[in-house]
C-alpha cells in the first residue's frame, strides 16, 4: 500500500515537471496595466501609461479602436520600460460614445500578452476644481439688472476664484446706489466680493439722499487788549472715543467765519443716504470744534452728543423721517464721551443748541516815546567816511611842497 502511494506521488511530480512553468505562474505577473481616466471630455486628448509586469516587454505600438475604425499608434517607452501614449481627440467617434486602448507586449518565452481599457467619451466638459482636462475653465454668469430704465451688465466668475463686484453702476436723481441684492435677499457691498460658484442676478440697492441740518452758535470773546481779525472755526463729527466718524457717501460741512468779538450763527449740514445717516448718527455720534492751533486763541473743547429720533414733528431732515437732537456730553470713567440720557424728556424732547466760545488772548503792546539821555553834550554825528584821512593829508602836504618848490625855482631863474 505504501509503495502504491509513493508511486502515485512520483508520477504526479513527473507530470508537474513536464508542464510549462508559465502554466502555474501568478495570473497578475504576466500582464500590462493601463493607467488613465475612465472618462474623457470630447475635446480632450486622452493620455495614458502602459506598465508591463516583470518579464514582459512592451510593443512599441498600441492599439486604438472606436468600434468603427482602429489604428496602431507609437508608444514612447522610457528607460524603465513604461509606455506613454496619447489618443488625439480628433480620432474620437462621437456616435460611438467611447473607444478602446489596447497595449501589447511579449514575455521572455515569446508568449504574447495584451490588455484592453475602455474609455468613455463625454460630450460635456469634465471639470476638476473648475478646470476641464481640455483646458476649459468653468465660469458663472453674474448679471447686474438695473431694470427697464438701466438695462443689464454682465461679469463672469471663474470657478474657485472670488469676483470683485462692480461699484456704483446705476444713478437716479435724489438717490444713491449703496449696494447690490440678489434674488434671495442677500446684500453685497459695492465693490465687494462674490464668492459663490453659481450664477446670480444682482439688483441695485438705492437709498434716498437727505440732508440733516443742526444749528449752532460760535462766540468770540476777548481775553486781552488785542482785537482778532477774520478767523474761521470748523466742527467735526466724531465717535465716543474722539475718532472721526466718516462714510464715503456722507458729506459734513460746518464752518463759521468770525471778525472780532461777538456771536456768530452757523449750521452743521450732513448729507448722505438715509439709511447710512441713520446708522451714522443714531448711536455713538458726537460733535466737537476743530482746534486749528492758531496763536492767541483758547479753543472751546466742549463736546456735544447727538441723539437721532424718528419723531417727524421735530424733523430737520428733508425727508421728515428723523431728526437729530443735540445735548452736552460728558466723559466717562473709561475716558469715552457719553450722553446723560436721564436729562432727556422723552415725551417732549427739545434740542439744546450747540454753543462754542473761543477766547482771543493775544495782547498787543503800544509803542512809547524814547526818553533822551541827560547830562551829555550833544555831538554832531559824522557824515562821511574818514577811514583814509591820513592819505588825504599826505597828498595835501606833497602838493604844497610842489607848489613852493616851483615858486622858488622860478625866482632863482629870473635872478640869474
Cα 376 off chain centre by: 81
d(C-alpha 107, C-alpha 206), whole Å: 78
Extract the C-alpha cell encoding 259. Answer: 471778525
Residue 29: other Cβ atoms inside 10 A: 12
Q: Residues 4, 26: contact at Cβ < 8 Å?
A: no
| Distance set, CA 396 to CA 383, 391, 393, 400 (Å) | 21, 9, 5, 6
- Name the nearest CA neighbour of 104 among 66, 47, 65: 65
Q: What is the pLDDT of residue 124?
A: 93
| Distance set, CA 306 to CA 134, 152, 192 (Å) | 62, 42, 31
pLDDT in tens, 10-29: 555 554 454 444 444 444 45
Extract the C-alpha cell encoding 48. Answer: 495614458
Q: Which residues pair with 96 in a beta bridge?
A: none
Give the CA count within 13 Å in the CB-facing half-sphere of 391.
Answer: 4
Extract the C-alpha cell encoding 261. Answer: 468779538
Q: Is 130 helix (H, G, I), strand (E, B) or coil?
A: coil
Q: What is the pLDDT of residue 24?
A: 43
Residue 258: other Cβ atoms inside 10 A: 20
C-alpha angle with apex 28: 23 to 29, nearest 5 degrees?
70
- Name the nearest CA neighbour of 42 among 103, 90, 111: 90
Extract the C-alpha cell encoding 201. Answer: 442676478
Q: What is the pLDDT of residue 323?
A: 77
**Average pLDDT by stretches of 10, the chain with 416 residues:** 55 50 46 95 95 93 83 90 94 91 93 94 93 94 92 94 95 91 95 96 93 94 88 96 92 96 95 88 92 94 86 45 82 91 72 91 65 51 53 60 54 47
C-alpha angle with apex 189: 185 to 195, nearest 5 degrees?
75
Q: What is the pLDDT of residue 67?
A: 77
Extract the C-alpha cell encoding 3. Answer: 509503495
- Name the nearest CA neighbour of 63 among 82, 43, 83, 42: 83
Q: Residue 201 class from Cβ within 10 Å (0-12 exposed, 13-18 middle, 19+ buried)? A: middle
Q: Provide the edge-to-edge strand list for the sheet that holds 323-331.
A: 255-259, 230-238, 286-289, 303-309, 323-331, 337-339
Q: What is the 3-state secondary structure (H, E, C) of 346-378?
A: CCCCCCCCEEEEEEECCCCCCCCCCCCCCCCCC
d(C-alpha 192, C-alpha 213), whole Å: 32
Q: Residues 329, 304: contact at Cβ < 8 Å?
A: yes
- Name the nearest CA neighbour of 240 among 339, 340, 336: 336
pLDDT in tens, 268-302: 999 999 888 888 988 899 999 999 999 999 999 99
User: Helix and strand tally (H, E) in the chain?
Assistant: 3, 28
- Name the nearest CA neighbour of 326 among 288, 300, 352: 352
412 Cβ contact partners less than 8 Å away, ≥ 6 residues apart? none
Helix H or strand E segment including 44: none
Q: What is the pLDDT of residue 20?
A: 46
Q: What is the pLDDT of residue 367?
A: 58
What single-letter DSSP state applies at residue 392? H
Q: What is the pLDDT of residue 264?
A: 97
Q: What is the pLDDT of residue 370?
A: 52
Q: What is the pLDDT of residue 150?
A: 87
Extract the C-alpha cell encoding 172. Answer: 437716479
Q: Residues 102, 62: contact at Cβ < 8 Å?
A: yes
Amino acid at each position: 500500500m505504501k509503495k502504491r502511494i509513493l508511486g502515485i506521488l512520483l508520477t504526479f511530480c513527473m507530470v508537474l515537471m513536464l508542464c510549462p512553468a508559465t502554466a502555474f505562474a501568478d495570473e497578475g505577473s504576466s500582464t500590462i496595466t493601463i493607467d488613465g481616466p475612465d472618462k474623457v471630455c470630447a475635446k480632450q486628448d486622452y493620455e495614458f501609461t502602459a506598465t508591463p509586469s516583470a518579464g514582459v516587454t512592451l510593443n512599441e505600438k498600441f492599439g486604438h479602436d472606436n468600434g468603427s475604425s482602429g489604428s496602431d499608434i507609437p508608444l514612447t517607452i522610457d528607460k524603465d520600460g513604461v509606455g506613454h501614449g496619447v489618443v488625439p481627440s480628433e480620432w474620437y467617434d462621437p456616435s460611438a460614445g467611447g473607444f478602446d486602448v489596447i497595449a501589447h507586449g511579449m514575455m521572455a518565452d515569446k508568449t504574447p500578452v495584451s490588455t484592453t481599457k475602455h474609455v468613455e467619451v463625454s460630450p460635456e466638459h469634465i471639470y476638476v476644481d473648475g478646470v476641464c482636462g481640455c483646458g476649459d475653465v468653468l465660469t458663472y454668469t453674474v448679471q447686474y439688472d438695473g431694470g427697464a430704465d438701466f438695462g443689464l451688465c454682465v461679469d463672469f466668475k471663474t470657478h474657485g476664484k472670488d469676483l470683485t463686484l462692480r461699484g456704483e453702476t446705476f444713478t437716479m436723481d435724489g438717490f444713491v446706489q449703496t449696494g447690490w441684492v440678489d434674488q434671495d435677499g442677500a446684500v453685497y457691498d459695492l465693490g465687494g466680493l462674490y464668492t459663490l460658484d453659481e450664477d446670480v442676478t444682482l439688483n441695485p440697492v438705492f437709498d434716498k439722499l437727505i440732508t440733516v441740518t443742526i444749528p449752532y452758535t460760535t462766540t468770540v470773546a476777548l481775553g486781552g487788549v488785542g482785537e482778532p481779525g477774520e478767523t474761521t472755526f470748523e466742527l467735526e463729527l466724531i465717535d465716543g472715543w474722539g475718532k472721526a466718524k466718516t462714510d464715503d457717501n456722507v458729506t459734513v460741512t460746518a464752518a463759521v467765519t468770525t471778525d472780532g468779538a461777538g456771536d456768530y450763527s452757523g449750521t452743521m449740514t450732513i448729507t448722505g443716504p438715509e439709511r447710512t445717516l441713520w446708522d451714522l448718527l443714531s448711536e455713538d455720534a458726537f460733535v466737537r470744534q476743530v482746534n486749528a492751533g492758531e496763536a492767541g486763541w483758547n479753543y472751546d473743547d466742549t463736546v456735544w452728543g447727538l441723539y437721532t429720533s424718528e419723531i417727524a414733528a421735530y424733523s430737520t431732515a428733508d425727508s421728515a423721517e428723523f431728526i437729530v437732537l443735540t445735548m452736552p456730553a460728558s466723559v466717562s470713567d473709561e475716558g469715552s464721551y457719553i450722553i446723560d440720557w436721564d436729562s432727556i424728556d422723552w415725551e417732549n424732547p427739545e434740542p439744546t443748541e450747540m454753543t462754542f466760545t473761543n477766547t482771543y488772548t493775544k495782547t498787543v503792546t503800544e509803542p512809547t516815546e524814547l526818553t533822551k539821555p541827560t547830562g551829555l553834550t550833544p555831538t554832531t554825528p559824522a557824515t562821511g567816511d574818514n577811514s583814509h584821512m591820513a592819505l588825504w593829508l599826505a597828498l595835501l602836504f606833497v602838493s604844497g611842497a610842489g607848489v613852493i618848490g616851483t615858486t622858488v625855482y622860478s625866482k632863482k631863474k629870473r635872478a640869474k
